[in-house]
Structure 1
């Protein structure tokens, strides 16, 4: 994988295909594998860039002084600058959508089109914020994601009825289990706290271009339920599509539907 040094740390990224650039922003706790079906499908017509979050995949630790999602947006812009990419079609899922929308608000001239997937631009509801922070404290204290906690964290990302014996579920669980202590403490936990203590930017969404924005959400997404996507699409004035048979990581649970939705949208906007 190619690497760029951003804020003093190595950021690894996928760079595959040729054509208009599609920048894919990933979910917390997922590396480039969450976009595997989309990389394969989109790179036939587009240049697909997938940066791995700090502490995820092969990327280095969270850089010092990274305090907010605005910093993640600024770091993504720094990557585009290094690659001399003037404009992207940005597709962000979960935290990828959170920093992706901020990037579009910060530098609208750099974003040709925007897809917000399974994400939310409001503040985290207080009850879930406190729940996630309690999980972070347990991980911090243990220096690992303990076995019982794996069975709390892993299901969050999938539709309720997923087969826990499936390769998709088991592979993700093994990734969580395999995080070394240093990575959990220097990147995963601090990044999680940053994400779930984010500021509310819903009032800024009307500044996004409704004609070049699309909201997608898994019909069975538990952490980012469709009602949140409906609220955002209404504030932006853009289209909304619900993804059947999918929870939070809709890109992997219903890749055919997601690929078709993205290819159709990009054909009209890229």
Structure 2
């Protein structure tokens, strides 16, 4: 996992551990913080006990990195996208999720839609694809994207969302909706909007992606795009289980699984 301080990963890990226990499996969790060297160490079994299989959420690894593993074995990539390759992968369509989030506010009549959450530091393919989805949705609705309405973050947390929204306000950006790259960033955006005296959703509609538990308890509650995390975990474990059970050197199909998502409307975009 990249970082258990990010609620999405913490909640996903908790669910994964519970489902693995149902299978009689023990789980060891290693945080990589998206660091390339740490991700390679995990992929090569360095610093982790001997294990039957690996579920890996990479942020910086490439297919070339993974093909050079010094400790090959059952491997399933979860969540973040790695370009198509010879490794099983279970994920959501991050581009489509951002399109859905953006279209949700556009259908409500919003036309100056900002985005908070482009990654300015460590790489994140998920963030890049979500940004591209935001841009494509605007173009599909005849709206030219404006760079002045896009704010980057250095990490996915409320403090970064708060600071990024503050920069948009300082730069006098005019917006009536905000698509956030994830819910953690959206929490900070909601906080700064309240501090600026801007009403949500009357003045500004806000939507995130990931459906973390905290979003249900904000005021107003946070609209979001909710991945089917139950299916994400269940399919990831099922694919890994098949790999573990297969005979050594068996020619197994490379499973590429995309799980669905739903748009959850709550108070922050209510019309």
What TM bracket, shorter-length normalisation? Answer: 0.3 to 0.5
Which of structures 1 and 2 has the bigger CA Rg?
2
- Report which of the two has the higher share of helix: 1
Q: TM-score, normalization: structure 1? A: 0.37
